[in-house]
Amino acid sequence: MKKMFFVLMILVLTVSSCNLFLNEEYGELILSFDGTLPDGARALDSNGLPVLSSSRMKINIIKENGYTVTRELSAEEPKSLVELVPVGETIEIIVTAINPSGQWSGRTFHTVASGQNQVTVLLNKNVSGLNNLLFTQTVEGQHDYNLTLYMGGKEINAPKSENPYSFARDSKGRLYVRYRDGDTYLVRYTSEGELDVHPAVKTTIKFLANDYTTGKMYGMGVGLNEINENDLTHPTTITGFSTVNNFFAVDNGRVAWLHVSSVNNIINAASLTGASHSDILINSHIDIHHCKPSEVKDIFIRGDYVYVLFNTVNESITSSDPNLYSLGGVVRYNINNLAGNHVKIGFSNSVGFENRAVPASYYSENFYGAVKVIGFDDENIYIADDGFDAADTPAGARIVKNRNRIAALNIATNALSFSDAGPAKWYNEWKEWRTPNTKMIVWESDADSSRIGMSYYQVERGDEDLSSAHPFITSGVYTPTGVLYSDVFCYDSAGNFYVSGKDGSDEKLYRYVLEDDGNYETDGEKAISEKPTTIAVSVSSVPDDAGKTILFYYFESVHGHNIGRLAWYTDDFTHAAQQRNITLSDLGQNDTVTAMAANKDGIFVAVKTVTGKDSPNEKYKITVKKYAHKRLDSLGNISAAETVTVIDETSTNYPNVPPHWTPEQANAYINEDLNALYISDGVLYGLTTNQKGYIEGLFSMATEVFIGGKLLKIGNTKSLGSYVVVLYKNDGLRPATSGEFAPYRFIAVKPKKLVIASDGYYGKETTPRNKNKVFVFDIGNWAHPDETVTHAIINFSKQLNYSSGSFIWTIE
């Protein structure tokens, strides 16, 4: 076998001890290299191997007593070493040359003699180890792949590819990359990361592996092929291996490969002569209970062992797989006896999921996903560990952190240790859960004859000129078959948007998904049986329904006060299914539900109770009730677990001679409503408006009408408490203040902020004045919200008009 060599010089000196009775003869060990590189020269020789005088180097001199002298020399340092060694002592000298890709080692023993000693240390031309090759593969769309590799700090950008890459290093530390750009190409880089073969050559090779013992490079094309040193275009086919069509590894003339038949994963092993063939079915060795079937990602041979790397990933909860996970590991087989005892490394046969996710503690000793061998040395195999952490969030189990680690697998003990992969992202980066930060939603109402609908826009501030803008939701008011969207809408905890609408005679609920760019994309629709008054979305806290998102919609019927439910797994709205309705049994005929919100702690319902309606005894009261979640397959009545009073019973000043009101009587009429509920960080907020002056219909006779409002903290969702806190208010009972704050809807999901649409007015005599604004509150700083007047076309839901001697507040 070809060797690189250098010479150690040992000179003998006499060294006097401070003890006059001792006088021992020592040899002086001198290490040096002849020759230097000219400026700008490459640190590689004509064979592509590192030039020793310009490589990093590690030298161990081991004495008879086991004492080791270690010297590490940088690439720039002179390669010289002086060490005193007693004459007659036998020393072991180990030299390792290191460049960005690999390590080349050699060792020798020498007994120090008197006089000048010349010692030759031969370095194997095949690497003794490969430094960790970090990499990141990304894909844009379906066929636009990029690969960045990091070799000893040097960044290598491979040519773009239409398919995933295959890459490997040979026994000289050179890097081979297979990619597809119309045709399939093979490109090679030196062990310093410089382009070695240019232009790239066409190839039929699909997967690459090296025999680090013999130094030969192999590729999988039509069967198994040996790649020729100076002719990458024409590999040599190895007979007897036509069935090799998947991951494989080669070492010392032995080959192991994966064969996939239907759903079966089979590992084969044989010598390159075709002798000693054996195989073993490994499904039960790599599968993890209650997870998707595992996929083999790489195979590696070290010594007498075959290491099989695998992973299994579920990045989205579905009915068939209701947990999020990235798992994997390594199984070790004896290449000479595949059927013998195998060793499982870095994974458990089953995982105890918590809140539909893998506990973080599991990964301290186990893989996220063993996907590729990236290096090795005398003690360890180094493996790319690619996966994610999932955890419970307000939106249910979600991916919260990508994890990219390097696993060091000790080949003697099978022990694992993990370290961060630095710049490497390996093969996958999953979308991480973030508290959403949506744009604002504003809308205009439009009407034509009996057709009334809302059209919705996304804006950043609220005052944008929308005269030429296109809404992302458009009501077909002027089209007989167009969908008429209502102003009944809500968000989920991920910022997705839901709105009710009428499609012909069908009532439907529509979902819009928040994209990475902040815009909404339609995600389908689902028919429901009744027109909803209010809607809310939450994940369930019922164990049997864990992992499901539920849309609640309230409607009244002859059977009472009902909440309908649509349910689906995470983002799989396509398969949302109608569930059994539940009835709010503690509500009566005087009650009306005006708003709703939900989270894991429960369903929160705003209830307005009106007694003595249309009589001088007419009174109203507003409460918020908390209901516990019920199993989706349950049918029946539920009663509130908690109730908090928002507005105590209050008289409306309804006159005793309807409908013949005087202006004074109409002006004295008062009313209040709770228009919206919203949950942020476990706190339930509410919006109320208070009105003075009757505006319910024609002939109301009021000559001056006012509106004001309040932003309220209803309570914590875990426990509402017994009282409500007013965070901000404007009673609006003066001409200058009427309509300045008339909160109607929460219109964005933002961290530590509340964004509110204010739909207000002031009317006197025959002149109505509408006021439409957006308020942005920093949570905790309630006194000074940002306030913006909307563009003229944004009229929100209602407008104050004057007609036939009366003020009327209604949808246009």
221 and 317 together in one domain: no
Residue 258 lies in a domain: no
For the stretch 166-197, pLDDT in tens is 999 999 999 999 999 999 999 999 999 999 87
What CATH number does residue 47 fall under?
2.60.40.10
Q: What is the pLDDT of residue 12?
A: 42
CB-based burial, 705-731: b 16+ in 10 Å, e otherwise:
bbbbbbbbbbbebeebeeebeebbbbe
Residue 280 lies in a domain: no
Residue 260 lies in a domain: no
What CATH number does residue 656 fall under?
2.120.10
CB of 188 closer than 8 Å to CB of 176? yes
Answer with the residue of higher pLDDT: 236 or 636: 236
Q: Give the whole-angstrom CA distance, residue 539 versus residue 270.
A: 53
Q: What is the pLDDT of residue 282?
A: 98
How would residue 121 be classed by pLDDT, with cut points 50, 70 and 90?
confident
Q: How far is C-alpha 36 from the chain's CA centre?
A: 51
Quick one: what percent of the chain has pLDDT higher than 70?
A: 93
149 and 98 together in one domain: no
564 and 607 together in one domain: yes
For the stretch 598-610, pLDDT in tens is 999 999 999 999 9
Minimum mean pLDDT range among 27-41, 96-110, 493-507, 579-593 = 27-41
CB-based burial, 228-237: b 16+ in 10 Å, e otherwise:
eeeebeebee
- The last residue of one of the domains, among 391, 415, 433, is 433
Residue 195 lies in a domain: yes
Q: What is the pLDDT of residue 31?
A: 58
Q: What is the pLDDT of residue 248?
A: 96
Q: What is the pLDDT of residue 691?
A: 97
Q: Give the whole-angstrom CA distance, residue 462 versus residue 488.
A: 20
Residue 267 lies in a domain: no
* Residue 44 DSSP class: B
Mean pLDDT value of segment 21-38? 51
- The last residue of one of the domains, among 89, 107, 125, is 125
CB of 643 closer than 8 Å to CB of 626? yes
Q: Give the whole-angstrom CA distance, residue 542 versus residue 544.
A: 6
Q: Give the whole-angstrom CA distance, residue 794 versus residue 207.
A: 60
Q: Give the whole-angstrom CA distance, residue 462 versus residue 493.
A: 22
Q: Which two tokens stand for residue 296?
A: 């083999």
Q: What is the pLDDT of residue 601?
A: 96
Q: What is the pLDDT of residue 40?
A: 39
In what helix (H) or strand (E) does residue 483 lie, and over which residues does it extend? Answer: none
Q: Evaluate if residue 20 carries a pLDDT over 50.
A: no
589 and 682 together in one domain: yes
Q: Evaluate if residue 75 carries a pLDDT over 90.
A: no
How would residue 781 be classed by pLDDT, with cut points 50, 70 and 90?
very high
Residue whose C-alpha is closest to residue 679's, from 721, 718, 621: 718
593 and 730 together in one domain: yes
How would residue 421 be classed by pLDDT, with cut points 50, 70 and 90?
very high
Residue whose C-alpha is closest to residue 6's, from 84, 80, 99: 80
Quick one: what percent of the chain has pLDDT higher than 90?
A: 71
Residue 724 lies in a domain: yes
Residue 166 lies in a domain: yes
DSSP 551-604: EEEEEEETTEEEEEEEEEETT-GGG-EEEEEEEETT--TTEEEEEEEEETTEEE
405 and 533 together in one domain: no
Name, in order, each residue with C-beta under 8 angstroms of 688's C-beta and a sequence gap of 6 or more: 622, 646, 647, 672, 673, 674, 675, 709, 710, 712, 743
142 and 111 together in one domain: no
Q: Give the whole-angstrom CA distance, residue 53 versus residue 77.
A: 9
452 and 403 together in one domain: no
Residue 790 lies in a domain: yes
Range of the domain at 404: 288-433
Q: CB burial class (10 A; 0-12, 13-18, 19+) of residue 107?
A: middle
Q: Evaluate if residue 39 carries a pLDDT over 50.
A: no
* Residue 195 DSSP class: B
CB of 128 closer than 8 Å to CB of 377? yes
- The last residue of one of the domains, among 69, 91, 125, is 125
For the stretch 529-561, pLDDT in tens is 899 999 999 998 898 888 899 999 999 988 789
CB of 326 closer than 8 Å to CB of 294? no
703 and 661 together in one domain: yes
Q: What is the pLDDT of residue 603?
A: 98
For the stretch 701-725, pLDDT in tens is 899 999 999 999 999 999 999 899 9
Q: CB burial class (10 A; 0-12, 13-18, 19+) of residue 698?
A: exposed
103 and 184 together in one domain: no
Q: What is the pLDDT of residue 617?
A: 94
313 and 331 together in one domain: yes
pTM surpassing 0.75? yes
Q: From residue 535, how far is each of 523, 532, 563, 597 by CA, in Å?
A: 17, 7, 9, 7
For the stretch 263-318, pLDDT in tens is 899 999 999 988 889 999 999 999 999 999 999 999 999 999 999 999 999 999 88
Q: What is the pLDDT of residue 19?
A: 35
For the stretch 340-394, pLDDT in tens is 999 999 999 999 999 999 999 999 999 999 999 999 999 999 999 999 999 999 9
Domain count, the chain: 4
452 and 375 together in one domain: no
